[in-house]
Protein backbone atom coordinates (compact mmCIF):
# COMPACT_ATOMS: atom_id res chain seq x y z
CA UNK A 1 0.00 0.00 0.00
CA UNK A 2 1.29 3.45 -0.91
CA UNK A 3 0.68 6.00 1.86
CA UNK A 4 -0.33 9.45 0.63
CA UNK A 5 0.61 12.29 2.93
CA UNK A 6 -1.49 15.33 3.78
CA UNK A 7 -0.10 18.86 3.48
CA UNK A 8 0.64 18.95 7.21
CA UNK A 9 2.38 15.58 7.03
CA UNK A 10 4.51 16.81 4.12
CA UNK A 11 5.51 19.78 6.25
CA UNK A 12 6.59 17.36 9.00
CA UNK A 13 8.51 15.38 6.39
CA UNK A 14 10.24 18.59 5.33
CA UNK A 15 11.24 19.42 8.88
CA UNK A 16 12.73 15.92 9.29
CA UNK A 17 14.43 16.34 5.92
CA UNK A 18 15.96 19.62 7.06
CA UNK A 19 17.63 17.88 10.01
CA UNK A 20 19.33 15.59 7.48
CA UNK A 21 20.21 18.54 5.24
CA UNK A 22 21.81 20.28 8.20
CA UNK A 23 23.98 17.21 8.90
CA UNK A 24 25.13 17.10 5.28
CA UNK A 25 26.03 20.78 5.34
CA UNK A 26 28.11 20.19 8.45
CA UNK A 27 29.83 17.16 6.89
CA UNK A 28 30.86 19.14 3.80
CA UNK A 29 33.24 21.05 6.07
CA UNK A 30 34.39 18.03 8.12
CA UNK A 31 35.22 15.62 5.30
CA UNK A 32 38.95 15.97 4.61
CA UNK A 33 42.10 13.82 4.65
CA UNK A 34 42.95 12.59 8.17
CA UNK A 35 39.44 12.33 9.61
CA UNK A 36 37.98 8.94 10.58
CA UNK A 37 34.52 7.88 9.50
CA UNK A 38 33.73 7.17 13.16
CA UNK A 39 34.33 10.84 13.97
CA UNK A 40 31.97 11.90 11.17
CA UNK A 41 29.34 9.53 12.56
CA UNK A 42 29.78 10.87 16.09
CA UNK A 43 29.32 14.45 14.93
CA UNK A 44 26.29 13.51 12.84
CA UNK A 45 24.54 11.74 15.70
CA UNK A 46 25.24 14.67 18.02
CA UNK A 47 23.71 17.07 15.49
CA UNK A 48 20.64 14.90 14.90
CA UNK A 49 19.90 14.53 18.63
CA UNK A 50 20.49 18.24 19.26
CA UNK A 51 17.70 18.92 16.74
CA UNK A 52 15.36 16.74 18.82
CA UNK A 53 15.44 13.95 16.23
CA UNK A 54 16.73 10.38 16.29
CA UNK A 55 19.15 8.72 13.85
CA UNK A 56 16.91 6.51 11.70
CA UNK A 57 19.67 4.13 10.61
CA UNK A 58 20.98 3.33 14.10
CA UNK A 59 19.39 0.05 15.14
CA UNK A 60 17.76 -0.44 11.72
CA UNK A 61 17.28 -4.14 11.24
CA UNK A 62 17.32 -6.27 8.11
CA UNK A 63 16.89 -9.96 8.93
CA UNK A 64 19.26 -10.58 11.83
CA UNK A 65 21.60 -7.71 10.98
CA UNK A 66 21.30 -4.50 13.02
CA UNK A 67 22.94 -1.35 11.63
CA UNK A 68 25.18 0.14 14.36
CA UNK A 69 25.58 3.78 13.31
CA UNK A 70 23.85 7.03 12.34
CA UNK A 71 25.55 7.36 8.95
CA UNK A 72 26.29 4.96 6.13
CA UNK A 73 29.79 5.78 4.87
CA UNK A 74 30.89 4.13 1.64
CA UNK A 75 34.42 4.76 0.38
CA UNK A 76 35.69 4.42 -3.22
CA UNK A 77 34.49 1.05 -4.61
CA UNK A 78 31.90 0.80 -1.82
CA UNK A 79 28.44 1.73 -3.10
CA UNK A 80 26.15 1.93 -0.04
CA UNK A 81 25.64 0.82 3.58
CA UNK A 82 29.29 1.03 4.72
CA UNK A 83 29.75 1.07 8.52
CA UNK A 84 31.67 3.96 10.15
CA UNK A 85 34.90 2.92 11.89
CA UNK A 86 38.59 3.64 12.31
CA UNK A 87 39.33 4.09 8.63
CA UNK A 88 41.11 7.38 8.02
CA UNK A 89 40.09 9.28 4.89
CA UNK A 90 42.92 9.93 2.45
CA UNK A 91 43.49 12.51 -0.28
CA UNK A 92 41.81 11.27 -3.46
CA UNK A 93 39.22 9.08 -1.71
CA UNK A 94 35.56 9.35 -2.63
CA UNK A 95 33.08 9.26 0.26
CA UNK A 96 29.38 8.56 -0.10
CA UNK A 97 27.50 9.59 3.04
CA UNK A 98 23.91 8.58 3.61
CA UNK A 99 21.96 10.01 6.56
CA UNK A 100 18.49 9.44 7.97
CA UNK A 101 16.72 11.32 10.75
CA UNK A 102 13.33 10.78 12.34
CA UNK A 103 11.59 13.88 13.72
CA UNK A 104 8.09 13.86 15.21
CA UNK A 105 7.52 10.41 13.70
CA UNK A 106 8.58 11.24 10.13
CA UNK A 107 11.76 10.25 8.30
CA UNK A 108 14.15 12.23 6.10
CA UNK A 109 16.66 10.28 3.97
CA UNK A 110 19.41 11.81 1.82
CA UNK A 111 22.87 10.95 0.51
CA UNK A 112 25.73 12.78 -1.16
CA UNK A 113 29.10 11.76 -2.58
CA UNK A 114 31.99 13.99 -1.61
CA UNK A 115 35.55 14.10 -2.96
CA UNK A 116 38.23 13.93 -0.24
CA UNK A 117 40.68 16.61 -1.35
CA UNK A 118 41.44 16.32 -5.06
CA UNK A 119 40.11 13.29 -6.94
CA UNK A 120 40.89 11.91 -10.41
CA UNK A 121 39.12 13.80 -13.25
CA UNK A 122 37.05 10.77 -14.30
CA UNK A 123 35.89 10.40 -10.70
CA UNK A 124 34.91 14.08 -10.45
CA UNK A 125 32.84 13.59 -13.62
CA UNK A 126 31.17 10.48 -12.21
CA UNK A 127 30.16 12.44 -9.10
CA UNK A 128 28.81 15.40 -11.09
CA UNK A 129 26.86 13.21 -13.51
CA UNK A 130 25.34 11.09 -10.76
CA UNK A 131 24.15 14.27 -9.04
CA UNK A 132 22.74 15.53 -12.35
CA UNK A 133 20.87 12.23 -12.85
CA UNK A 134 19.16 12.70 -9.48
CA UNK A 135 17.86 16.13 -10.49
CA UNK A 136 16.71 14.80 -13.87
CA UNK A 137 14.66 12.22 -11.95
CA UNK A 138 13.29 14.81 -9.53
CA UNK A 139 12.27 17.01 -12.48
CA UNK A 140 9.83 14.37 -13.77
CA UNK A 141 8.46 13.51 -10.31
CA UNK A 142 5.07 15.08 -11.00
CA UNK A 143 1.51 13.78 -10.59
CA UNK A 144 0.50 11.90 -13.74
CA UNK A 145 4.01 10.76 -14.64
CA UNK A 146 4.92 7.17 -13.84
CA UNK A 147 7.56 5.35 -11.83
CA UNK A 148 9.13 4.21 -15.11
CA UNK A 149 9.56 7.86 -16.16
CA UNK A 150 11.60 8.54 -13.02
CA UNK A 151 13.91 5.55 -13.62
CA UNK A 152 14.18 6.38 -17.30
CA UNK A 153 15.31 9.93 -16.48
CA UNK A 154 18.30 8.46 -14.62
CA UNK A 155 19.00 5.67 -17.09
CA UNK A 156 18.79 7.64 -20.34
CA UNK A 157 21.33 10.16 -19.03
CA UNK A 158 23.72 7.76 -17.26
CA UNK A 159 23.74 5.17 -20.07
CA UNK A 160 25.12 7.82 -22.43
CA UNK A 161 28.39 7.73 -20.46
CA UNK A 162 28.69 3.94 -20.34
CA UNK A 163 28.55 3.80 -16.55
CA UNK A 164 26.94 0.93 -14.62
CA UNK A 165 23.63 1.73 -12.89
CA UNK A 166 23.16 -0.33 -9.73
CA UNK A 167 20.03 -2.48 -10.02
CA UNK A 168 20.28 -4.53 -6.81
CA UNK A 169 19.22 -1.48 -4.74
CA UNK A 170 16.80 1.31 -5.53
CA UNK A 171 14.84 4.27 -4.24
CA UNK A 172 11.67 3.89 -2.18
CA UNK A 173 8.68 5.49 -0.60
CA UNK A 174 9.49 7.28 2.66
CA UNK A 175 7.29 8.51 5.48
CA UNK A 176 6.69 7.20 8.98
CA UNK A 177 8.97 4.37 7.95
CA UNK A 178 12.35 4.60 6.20
CA UNK A 179 11.33 2.18 3.48
CA UNK A 180 7.75 2.30 2.22
CA UNK A 181 6.16 1.36 -1.07
CA UNK A 182 6.71 1.88 -3.93
CA UNK A 183 10.20 0.92 -5.04
CA UNK A 184 11.80 3.52 -7.31
CA UNK A 185 14.34 1.81 -9.61
CA UNK A 186 17.03 3.87 -11.33
CA UNK A 187 16.12 2.42 -14.72
CA UNK A 188 12.88 1.94 -16.59
CA UNK A 189 10.77 2.55 -19.65
CA UNK A 190 8.82 5.79 -20.10
CA UNK A 191 5.08 5.52 -19.55
CA UNK A 192 5.33 2.32 -17.50
CA UNK A 193 4.73 1.53 -13.82
CA UNK A 194 2.48 3.13 -11.23
CA UNK A 195 1.21 6.64 -11.82
CA UNK A 196 2.69 9.15 -9.35
CA UNK A 197 0.09 10.85 -7.15
CA UNK A 198 0.11 14.05 -5.13
CA UNK A 199 0.96 13.16 -1.54
CA UNK A 200 3.49 10.48 -2.36
CA UNK A 201 6.87 10.99 -0.70
CA UNK A 202 9.72 9.12 -2.36
CA UNK A 203 13.47 8.84 -1.85
CA UNK A 204 15.17 8.91 -5.25
CA UNK A 205 18.73 7.60 -5.10
CA UNK A 206 20.81 6.81 -8.18
CA UNK A 207 23.88 4.66 -7.46
CA UNK A 208 26.29 4.74 -10.39
CA UNK A 209 29.54 2.81 -10.97
CA UNK A 210 32.49 3.68 -13.21
CA UNK A 211 32.51 0.00 -14.22
CA UNK A 212 29.70 -2.55 -14.46
CA UNK A 213 26.42 -2.48 -12.51
CA UNK A 214 27.24 -5.64 -10.57
CA UNK A 215 27.53 -5.61 -6.78
CA UNK A 216 28.59 -7.82 -3.90
CA UNK A 217 27.94 -7.60 -0.17
CA UNK A 218 30.86 -7.90 2.27
CA UNK A 219 31.07 -10.32 5.21
CA UNK A 220 29.97 -7.55 7.64
CA UNK A 221 26.47 -8.14 6.26
CA UNK A 222 26.02 -4.50 5.23
CA UNK A 223 28.68 -2.97 3.01
CA UNK A 224 27.83 -3.23 -0.67
CA UNK A 225 30.63 -2.68 -3.18
CA UNK A 226 31.16 -2.89 -6.92
CA UNK A 227 31.92 -6.42 -8.09
CA UNK A 228 34.72 -5.13 -10.34
CA UNK A 229 36.28 -2.80 -7.77
CA UNK A 230 35.40 0.34 -9.74
CA UNK A 231 34.55 3.63 -8.02
CA UNK A 232 30.89 4.34 -7.23
CA UNK A 233 28.80 7.46 -6.51
CA UNK A 234 25.42 7.90 -4.79
CA UNK A 235 23.09 10.89 -4.48
CA UNK A 236 19.69 10.86 -2.79
CA UNK A 237 16.91 13.29 -1.90
CA UNK A 238 13.56 12.69 -0.24
CA UNK A 239 10.96 14.32 -2.47
CA UNK A 240 7.24 15.06 -2.04
CA UNK A 241 5.02 14.81 -5.13
CA UNK A 242 2.57 17.72 -5.09
CA UNK A 243 0.17 19.35 -7.53
CA UNK A 244 2.50 22.36 -7.54
CA UNK A 245 5.54 20.23 -8.48
CA UNK A 246 8.22 18.24 -6.67
CA UNK A 247 9.31 19.47 -3.22
CA UNK A 248 12.88 18.54 -2.29
CA UNK A 249 12.32 17.78 1.39
CA UNK A 250 16.03 17.30 2.14
CA UNK A 251 17.18 20.35 0.16
CA UNK A 252 20.41 21.94 1.33
CA UNK A 253 19.52 25.09 -0.58
CA UNK A 254 22.05 24.20 -3.33
CA UNK A 255 19.64 22.67 -5.84
CA UNK A 256 20.22 23.71 -9.47
CA UNK A 257 17.42 25.69 -11.18
CA UNK A 258 14.48 23.42 -12.04
CA UNK A 259 10.76 22.81 -11.80
CA UNK A 260 10.94 21.90 -8.11
CA UNK A 261 9.71 24.15 -5.37
CA UNK A 262 12.74 25.64 -3.67
CA UNK A 263 13.13 24.06 -0.24
CA UNK A 264 13.97 26.26 2.66
CA UNK A 265 17.28 25.46 4.25
CA UNK A 266 16.16 26.97 7.55
CA UNK A 267 16.44 24.56 10.46
CA UNK A 268 14.44 25.24 13.57
Binding site for Mg ion (CB under 5 A): 98, 109, 111, 203, 236
- For the chain, the straight-line distance linking the first and the last C-alpha, in angstroms and rounded, comes to 32
Nearer to Mg ion, 93 or 236 (CB): 236
Nearer to Mg ion, 68 or 190 (CB): 68
Query: Residue 190, class by beta-carbon neighbours within 10 Å (0-12 exposed, 13-18 middle, 19+ buried)?
Result: middle
Q: How far is the CB of 168 from Mg ion (least distance, A)?
A: 14
Nearer to Mg ion, 116 or 203 (CB): 203
259-265 own/partner pairs: CB under 8 Å, 24+ apart: 259/139, 259/142, 260/138, 260/139, 263/14, 263/17, 263/18, 263/21, 264/14, 264/18, 265/18, 265/21, 265/25
Q: How far is the CB of 167 from Mg ion (least distance, A)?
A: 15
Q: How far is the CB of 201 from Mg ion (least distance, A)?
A: 12
Helical (H) or strand (E) element with 183: strand 180-184
Nearer to Mg ion, 22 or 236 (CB): 236
Q: How far is the CB of 210 from Mg ion (least distance, A)?
A: 21
Q: How far is the CB of 50 from Mg ion (least distance, A)?
A: 21
Give the closest residue to 176 by CA, choosing from 102, 267, 246: 102
Give the closest residue to 134 by CA, choosing from 115, 152, 151, 154: 154
Q: How far is the CB of 23 from Mg ion (least distance, A)?
A: 12
Beta bridge partners of 241: 246
Nearer to Mg ion, 19 or 203 (CB): 203
Nearer to Mg ion, 67 or 191 (CB): 67
- Alpha carbons within 13 angstroms on the beta-carbon side of residue 121 total 0
- Euclidean distance between CA atoms 170 and 7, whole angstroms: 26
Amino acid sequence: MIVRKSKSEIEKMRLAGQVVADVHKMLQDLVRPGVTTRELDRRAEERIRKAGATPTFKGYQVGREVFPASLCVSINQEIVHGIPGDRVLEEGDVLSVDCGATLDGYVGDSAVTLPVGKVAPEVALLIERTRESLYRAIAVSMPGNRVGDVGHAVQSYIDSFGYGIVQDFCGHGVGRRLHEEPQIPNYGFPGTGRRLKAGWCIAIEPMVNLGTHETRTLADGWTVETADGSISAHFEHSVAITDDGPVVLTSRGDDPPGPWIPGTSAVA
